[in-house]
């Protein structure tokens, strides 16, 4: 249950909009920016306590509570399965699967995860 499904419906000016589906809760959480996406994923991992972080974030405030909404209209630009295996050194390590193409890649940091997603959404993959 470490996986989440990410569906991006709009990607304009490097700003993704879509939702994250959590199989653990069965809920969809909408995001409209990269920061909201990251906070949503981090919040889901904190809720299910998996994977456990090896360090605490400095200045951590209230947990992000994304809104649950129905599916956006239309077909997603891209869909991903994000599987975070570890949270070492205040970042994430895991696997990213581009669902439509069946292509998989590993990431060693949140930045690397964002670059992989950006490559797909910009057509550079």
- Per-residue pLDDT of 38-80, as tens digits, reads 999 988 888 877 777 666 665 666 655 555 555 566 789 999 9
Contacts 24+ apart (CB under 8 A), 72-79: 72/9, 72/17, 72/18, 72/19, 74/9, 76/7, 76/8, 76/9, 76/18, 77/8, 77/9, 77/10, 77/11, 77/121, 78/7, 78/8, 78/117, 78/120, 78/121, 79/5, 79/6, 79/7, 79/8
The count of domains in the chain is 1
pLDDT attached to residue 119:
96
Domain with 16, as residue range(s), is 3-121
In this model, does residue 113 exceed pLDDT 70?
Answer: yes
Write down the pTM of the prediction. 0.82
pLDDT attached to residue 117:
97
Give 125's pLDDT tier (boundaries 50, 70, 90): very low
pLDDT attached to residue 23:
87
């Amino acid at each position: 249950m470490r996986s989440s499904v990410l569906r991006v419906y709009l990607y304009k000016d490097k700003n993704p909009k879509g939702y994250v589906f959590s199989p653990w809760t069965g809920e969809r959480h909408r995001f409209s920016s990269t920061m909201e996406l990251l906070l949503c994923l981090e919040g889901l991992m904190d809720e299910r306590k998996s994977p456990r972080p090896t360090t605490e974030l400095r200045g951590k405030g209230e947990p992000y509570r994304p809104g649950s909404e129905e599916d956006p209209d239309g077909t997603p630009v891209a869909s991903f399965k994000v599987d975070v295996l570890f949270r070492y050194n205040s970042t994430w390590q895991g696997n990213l699967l581009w669902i439509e193409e069946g292509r998989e890649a590993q990431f060693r940091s949140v930045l690397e995860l964002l670059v992989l997603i950006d490559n797909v959404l910009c057509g550079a993959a």
